[in-house]
Amino acid sequence: MAGGLVGCQENLTTPGQCPDLCPGDRIVVRDTIISAAAGADSTYVGYTPRAARQVLLVSDGLAAGEYRSFVVFNKHSRDSVPVDGTNRVFEIDTVAISFLVEVRDTAVKNLHLYFYRIPIATDTTATFDGLESLLNPANLLDSARMNDTLKTGRVEAIFAGDRMATVLPSAEDSGRFGVGLRVRADAPTGVRIALDPLQLGSGPLFEYRGTALAVADTSKRRQRLQIRLESVARTGYVQNVDLAENRDPNLLYIGGPQAARSLLRFAVPAFIRDTAQIVRATLLLTPASPLAGLGNTRVRDSVGALGVVVDLGAKSPTTTFGFVPRGGLVEGTASVASVDVYSLVANWQTAGGAPQAIFLQHSDETLGGGFMQPVFYSTRSPIGRPQLRITYGVPTKPGQP
Amino acid sequence: MTRAFVVACGLAVLAPSVGVGQSSQFGVRGLGIPIRPLSPRAVGVGGAFGLFDLESSVNPAAPGSVTVFTSLLTSTQNFRSSTNPFGKSSGRDSRFPQILVAGPIGGTNVAAAISISGYTDRSFVLGTQDTIELRGARVGVFDTLSSRGGLSDIRLAGAWRVSPTFHVGLGFHAITGSNRIQNSLHFADSSYVPTVEQTEISYLGLGVSTGFTLRVVPRLTVAGSYRNDGHVNIERDTTRIAKTDLPTSMAVGIRWLPSERVMWAAAFQRRGWGAADRDVKLQRGIGAEDTYEVSTGLELVRDPRNPGHRPWRFGAHYATLPFPIRADRQAHEIGFSIGSGVRFTQGRGGVDLAVQQVFRSDGGGFTERATVVTFGISIRP
């Protein structure tokens, strides 16, 4: 009896070859393609304000467009530095300005970041032409080279001796200091620079290095004074290309400086929605032109698909919790982008489930933008309309004798 | 009898959790593989004592011999090796196929018994590997069809001791149970999510049985029973989908005691499972066929004053099976068994053990060998 009670683990498997041995039918798997609901797809913009950007973009000669960036370091006093809780007189001998390059084209060599002094009044209302006019040889502070072997790393310009005077903020500016950025390399390229809004240490730095006077402990005499950015309103990037600015209503846009999103709607047939077991669902998007961006990066551009809780058009709340399905975008090509949207489509099958709508966004939207501004054909396009490819199992109602 | 009633009610409450029988590839079709409602003692002699055994549920007259309240709980362990044209596999499962309480009704010549027995078992898992074309590529798939459950027979039997040598009995049967069936398809390519379809088939039917035991001469007893199970209604997920006729059954047996220490019995049973043929085919099954079973066995008693203590039991049976895996290939099984038991506390408690070696075949490549260990505890407080 004890054996019977504890030995309840079962192994009932018998080799079979359906339908010879199996009662009932095998699950038949079918594949179908459903076009997005005609005329029900649109592009909306403005999902990330300029002040919320978390990155700086700088480019030179990229097909995706020209990008320039600017920052203004906060007001400060450089006369003293705290040592063991006591302010000591600080004798500066070096100034360092540095930026952390997060993403670069690793195939492009001899990458240089150029630093220009710009007015501290520069803010997010700046235009590309306005900033470009400031980045001239007269305002050039220095340039710094990024090692060709690095995929990411801090690029630093050092000012010492006589050169230090060029980067010392004036008293009228209360210590504020504006820097504009340009990039150059052996080939057209771009970089993405961290802004670090959470102040975790990866943001731009304006750093004084020198000696604290009247400190008995000689190991503590050498000190650094780090100045961070003033505010999000005085940092950012500007560009000369914004595909969504005068957009074609027959195309769908995502990403870009305006953080564009596109909404697609579908009408999955009732026999699939109500009874079929969906095993795979793929959203197919055809680029209207080759996808221009930054190649050979450690982080690829991708298109994200978000479900919506309620279909309210542009202001539809999205199901942003959890995993966001993404599909790769191949820079320099117009190859069809595939997004695995099984989790979204499966949710359409539940009673009272989400509306049959998908919001498309660029993966860089949360960062405040990227170089690539994908444009896809819409349902109004003669070719390449958005499609949903659904693979599903036909129910068999098992239980035959 | 009051105690018997209380225990019986308890057992009835437990009924849904009572597993039945043993899994087999020959239980894939129809309603599954039939289960013999036998005690370990009856199993040990090949089933031949079933018509005379008050702890079995074959003959409603058998409880007529009960003199004190008796209860029985059995467990089986089934170790199986199945071979068919598609491969070979081993499996195991455990069940509780026979639970019974019986006792005399004080001041009368009547005894009653309530039992829960296995009726059919349809527990199996069939696995198939294949490739299918999806999105322009061949994708490996693994089909799994599984079923767990079967039918149970809840019997209320009353036996009347017409005379010390002649007992008759009447039984009412509720045949109920369910199959939890799962059909799943897994893909070798992880881009595809497995598809799983589940359903529950539930059954309910009523039957009646009658029987007798007659001691012809002091050392010779004959017994017989007749049973009509009517039909069973079938629901899929609470929706009535079909009904299936169940068999009428007839069994006769003879028991002979050539000496105080030797008991021999033989039995024949015929079950009209063919009655289900039309209904099974209407439900897209292969069909059903009538079955018969012959069994014989011997019990060698060491102590005639305590016959249940350390006897040796031997038996064999041959039976045909009702639901063919393939059309026109009725399967059969041959079983050989051995068993024994001990009694303690002046016969108030006892345990019995039987081991069967069963061979099944349909004569067309589907074969099976199973070792079934049946263990029972009986209590007579």
For residue B179, which residues of chain A lie inside 8 Å, CB to CB? 399
Contact A279, A391 (CB under 8 A): yes
* Residue labelled with tokens 């105690």: B3
What percent of chain A stands above pLDDT 70? 95
What is the Cα A189 distance to its own chain's centre?
A: 17
Check B87 against A3: CB less than 8 A apart. no
Among B265, B197, B372, B242, which residue's Cα sits nearest to residue B47? B265
3-state secondary structure of A271: helix
Q: Which of B141, B145, B237 to mutate to test the interface with A (most CBs of A within 10 A)?
A: B145
Residue B237: domain span: 2-379
| B231 contact partners, CB below 8 Å, separation of at least 6 | B205, B243, B244, B245, B246, B279
Do A24 and B284 make contact, defined as CB atoms within 8 angstroms? yes
Nearest to B91 among A12, A20, A399 (CB): A12
Q: How many Cα atoms occupy the beta-carbon half-sphere of A248 within 13 Å?
A: 12
pLDDT band at A88; cut points 50, 70, 90: very high
Contact between residue A15 and residue B88 where contact means Cβ atoms under 8 Å apart: yes
Q: Sort out which chain A residues have CB atoms less than 8 A from B87's CB and list them.
A: 15
Taking residue A341's Cβ as centre, other Cβ atoms within 10 Å add up to 24
Tokens of B249: 């059954």
Q: In this predicted structure, which of A246-255, B13-22, B301-310 has the lowest mean pLDDT?
A: B13-22
A149, exposed or middle or buried, with CB in 10 Å at 0-12, 13-18, 19+? Answer: exposed
Give the residue from chain B lying closest to A33, CA to CA.
B135
A351, A390, B124, B196, B346 from B186: Cα distances, Å? 25, 17, 18, 9, 58
DSSP secondary structure letters along B151-210:
EEEEEEEEEEEEETTEEEEEEEEEEEEEEEEEEEEEESSTTSPPEEEEEEEEEEEEEEEE
Q: Check residue A327 and give its pLDDT.
A: 78
Look at residue A143 and tell me whether its pLDDT is greater than 60: yes
Q: Does A8 touch chain B (CB under 8 A)?
A: yes
| SS3 (DSSP) at A315 | helix
Q: Where are the domains of chain A?
A: 28-45+244-394, 51-239
Residue with tokens 């053990």: B353
Domain with residue B39: its CATH number is 2.40.160.60
Q: Is A63 a residue whose pLDDT tops 80? A: yes
Stretch A126-130: mean pLDDT:
96
Residue A295 scores a pLDDT above 60: yes
**3-state DSSP assignment of residue B40:** helix
Is a pLDDT exceeding 50 seen at residue B9? no
Q: What is the pLDDT of residue B22?
A: 57
Q: pLDDT tier at B16 (50, 70, 90 boundaries)?
A: very low
The answer to whether the CB atoms of A393 and B197 lie below 8 A apart is yes
Q: How many CB pairs under 8 A join A and B?
A: 168
| CA Rg value for chain A | 28
Residue A305 — very low, low, confident or very high, per pLDDT cuts 50/70/90?
very high
How many CB atoms are closer than 10 A to CB B140?
12
Top-confidence residue, B23 or A314: A314
Q: Phi and psi for A342 in degrees, rounded to 5?
A: -55, -45
CA dist list (Å): A268 to A143, A356, B119, B352, B355: 56, 8, 46, 62, 58
A21 lies within 8 A of chain B by CB: yes
pLDDT at B1 over 90: no
Which of A1, A20, A398 is closest, CB to CB, to B181?
A398
Q: How far is CA B47 from CA B52, B140, B222, B340, in A?
A: 10, 47, 15, 14
DSSP three-state, residue B47? coil
Give the pLDDT of residue B253: 98
Q: Is the per-residue pLDDT at B15 higher than 80?
A: no
Closest in B73, B192, B199 to A399, CB measured: B199
CATH number given to A28-45+244-394: 2.60.120
Contacts of A342 in chain B (CB under 8 A): 193
The residue among B296 and B85 whose pLDDT is bigger is B296
Q: Which of B48, B6, B121, B68 is nearest to B348 (CA)?
A: B68
Would you tell me how many other CB atoms lie within 10 Å of the CB of residue A121?
A: 12
**Euclidean distance between CA atoms B12 and A20, whole angstroms:** 39
pLDDT tens-digit readout, B148-194: 999 999 999 999 999 999 999 999 999 999 999 999 999 999 999 99
- Is the Cβ pair A14, B183 closer than 8 Å? no
Of A17, A279, A401, the CB nearest to B128: A17
The sheet carrying A302-307 orders its strands as A42-44, A261-265, A357-362, A302-307, A326-328
Q: Do B134 and A31 touch (CB under 8 A)?
A: yes
Number of Cβ within a 10 Å radius of residue A250? 12
ipTM above 0.85? Answer: no
Specify the pLDDT at position A321.
61
Best A5, A21, A274 member to test B by mutation, with max B CBs in 10 Å, is: A21
- Residue B209 — pLDDT band, cuts 50, 70, 90? very high
Does A323 reach chain B within 8 Å, measured CB to CB?
A: no
On average, the pLDDT of chain A sits at 91
Strands (E), A165-313: 177-184, 189-194, 205-212, 222-227, 236-239, 251-253, 261-265, 277-285, 302-307
Of A5, A23, A391, the CB nearest to B192: A391
Q: In chain B, what residues touch A398 (CB-CB under 8 Å)? A: 145, 181-183, 197, 199
In whole angstroms, give the CA distance from residue A247 to residue A254: 11
- pLDDT reported for residue B14: 39
Which residue does chain A place closest to B277, by CA atoms? A401
